[in-house]
Amino acid sequence: MEIVILDDAEAIGKLAADQVCGLLARKPDAVLGLATGSSPLATYDELARRCAAGEVSFGRARAFTLDEYVGLPEDHPERYRNVIDRELTGRVDLDPSRVAGPDGLAEDVPAACAAYERAIADAGGVDLQILGIGTDGHIGFNEPGSSLASRTRIQTLTRQTRLDNARFFDGDLDAVPTHCLTQGLATIMAARHVVLVATGSGKAQAVHQLAEGPVSAMWPASVLQHHPHVSVLVDEAAAGRLQLAGYYRETYLAKPAWQGL
Ligand code: F6R
């Protein structure tokens, strides 16, 4: 796991966008894993800008989103399928038919989750997964207590996550769904490269546990310590509790340019 401490969200967005663009240059039909929420917005803005400038094409790429609220109507602005269209896929040259997400309106939930796992596998697996992290250490919506071997399934959101996300629902906690479908921790672990982005002091404890705590279902993101290729891009505030922050800074500064992330 590599921790990169950068000045601000814009610098994080640029470095994350570099990873996506580098991948698409090497492999135009790459499979991207996309997170929603506020953390990746700077990355998506940068990718939209580069696509508009003709610097990158998503024309042959495919994308899978991480998670979806259960029960939000198709036209709800906070349905993650609509969020990702608004924030990224609708702003780049990616055909909507090449973007998939878990079906939060499925009547047969286990069948829909199994179908989603199959769709990801049939696409050849995710090449690059963009992740955020919850204040409680969730990735996707794998809340504390999630099996480290979990696959796509229904989850109950913690009160903390619903409080955190109430800002997307006009501050109305009751409007935040109680359930979601989410890729499991094992699903996320199967991605070939994971780029996790986090900003702000609210994420500092989760980032510390992710990188420096014991691997534990109590801090689900800590499972990424077992992944061979994880890049964690954080600002100073999100790095605020890292015990080895000085070492991470030195390592990144001394890194040969050819190495990339
Ligand atoms: C969203 C997702 C979540 C968020 C996390 C952080 O698809 O999977 O894990 O990444 O809740 O959310 P923000 O970025 O809004 O702080």
Residue 253's pLDDT band, with cuts at 50, 70 and 90, is very high
pLDDT confidence of residue 70: 98
Rounded to the nearest whole angstrom, what is the distance from the C-alpha of residue 256 to the centroid of ligand 1? 32
pLDDT classification of 142: cutoffs 50, 70, 90:
very high
Tell me, using a 6 A CB cutoff, whether residue 33 lines ligand 1. no
Task: Give me the pLDDT at residue 107, please.
Answer: 97
Tens of pLDDT, residues 26-38 = 999 999 999 999 9
> What domains are defined for the chain?
2-259 (3.40.50.1360)
- What percent of the chain is modeled with pLDDT above 90? 100
Whether ligand 1 lies within 6 angstroms of the CB of 37 is answered as yes
- Probe residue for ligand 1, chosen from 12, 67, 87 as the CB with the greatest number of ligand atoms within 8 Å: 67
- Predicted local distance difference test score (pLDDT) of residue 219: 98
Predicted pLDDT of residue 39: 98
What is the Cα–Cα distance from 165 to 172, expressed in whole angstroms?
9
Compute the distance from residue 39 Cα to the ligand 1 centre, in Å: 7
Average pLDDT over residues 140-152: 98
In the reported structure, the alpha carbon of residue 132 is separated from the centroid of ligand 1 by a whole-number distance in angstroms of 5
Share the mean pLDDT of the chain. Answer: 97
Average pLDDT estimate for 242-255: 97
- The mean pLDDT of 234-259, rounded to a whole number, is 97
Does any ligand 1 atom lie closer than 6 A to the CB of residue 79? no
Cβ of 129 closer than 6 Å to ligand 1, yes or no, is no
Ligand 1 atom index nearest CA of 200 = 16
Protein residue closest via CA to atom 10 of ligand 1 = 132
Most informative mutation of 78, 129, 139 for ligand 1 (most atoms within 8 A of CB):
139
So which residues are the catalytic ones? 67, 136, 138, 143
Specify the pairing of strand 193-198 against strand 230-235: parallel
The whole-number pLDDT of residue 241 equals: 98
Whole-structure pTM value: 0.98
What is the pLDDT at residue 36? 97
84-91 mean pLDDT: 96
Cα of 123 to ligand 1 centre, how many Å? 24
Residue 103 has a pLDDT of 97
User: What pLDDT is recorded for position 174?
Assistant: 97
